Chain A
């Protein structure tokens, strides 16, 4: 599904990622944990193809094809979804309009006909119910005036609508209270299948209680310094990052 090979990347000329190797197989959920400034968000932006995040070495293969040189929308249409840490506000554009454009862009890429308005609405409402979101959110402008939690829920709602093969969740737990966290996690879990994978980027372990990962990586200074099973997250929670980082340095 996703194969990251010796990935080096810079932002504004600064080396942020310094040789990441990571393979996610279909059906797997991986978690990346790490202290602030370790390069977690940079990794998610590099995967999604944001301008200004320059890959200087290495490669990223998605479904066996290199992502380097692909535009963000091409990656998205191929099934790569990034749930933003800070979802962006777009004034005047209704959530429904926005999402329908996105759904149809992805469908078109797959050679499918546009989803008609009725089907879209029906599907959207069903998914919103699943996330306990008020239907009003469809008519509100994208993320405008949403609370932190509402924005995150809206990101997961988009995952459910777009059904990506790889969902990258960048600190989706931040700003969520425990009830919202559960709902969001259930939404993500509902999509788990042998064909779909997820990359959960988080600072804390608590999201991983609900989205249980197959593999946990620790990122520090742009490199993965430790990889383990879900118990690694618990270990980090108990001991903090310092020990792991110190062990790596030694």
Chain B
């Protein structure tokens, strides 16, 4: 226990590190960072009194002594190989919250593409910190704005198509790591981004605090995959802000597979008509993992379509949380917003809290949500057993089938294979409780 209160520890860490953070020499950035720190000090960590944090508490964070990561050590080759995409990608690896050029590789980029680590992004740092994501009311994103040490800046000009996926790989470290991403697609641009947060192999708790600002231009298409599987002692809090232009398509798949506590909060807003958001999540919780997806889908304009599918497999003493808010603004007619949450509880002390929320202020809309919670279907189990399949195997097959619906949302090919093996590895890791 430190003598200093938690928030003040971080303030001290900020003052020590500020001079070396990206954009430190740009007055607007420095001012933004100072203001962000003040906002965080004022707000503190979110707590249960906030409706959106009803089911997830961060008290445990306050009981630890947090420092910013030292710049030493790397990731071992086997770990990197296991986590990386086999297919060709533009890979940016982050270790200790910093871009590691030695193990990264950014290939040839077409005209009109900027892809850089934040720490080397020059003027774009100002974009990522000042222009994008001013969340004065959200303390974790303010903390991130103050302390962001690196991240990815991906900017695509109008009409540009980036064929190879952009791969963002972060390995956990026993410290507080703040990554900040800025992803902006111009009109009719196309890209695929895979964010991966992996176990760095150190058992002491680490805390990753990630912020992503995503803007999908008119008619653009972004496939955004997020794989989060860190050390069972790790904390992970991510906040994404996505705006989708007219006629654009945003496809998001988020897999959470390990941490002491992980929360992925995603705010998606439609900025123009006839746009689509397909958002799918898969939560794999075991041990004492507390895994939270919190979504806000804001249908601010007419004639957009959103679809959310979230599946949870909760074993041991795992605790899954799903909050899915859909808001249809007045006059956002012809909105089609669907949401479905399904949960399998596999153990006596496993639990799920779910709150699907509809706020509908326009009448000509198609909105629905559904939630179901239960154990693996006994009849299906029995059927498979009568065909000679042992119980644990039958169970694994059923779970794999349950997860498949989300996995299959990933575009077919190497990318899907990658996500699938990530999921299958979790299922195989320990005989899932029978």
In the complex they form, whether A and B have CB atoms below 8 Å apart is answered with no
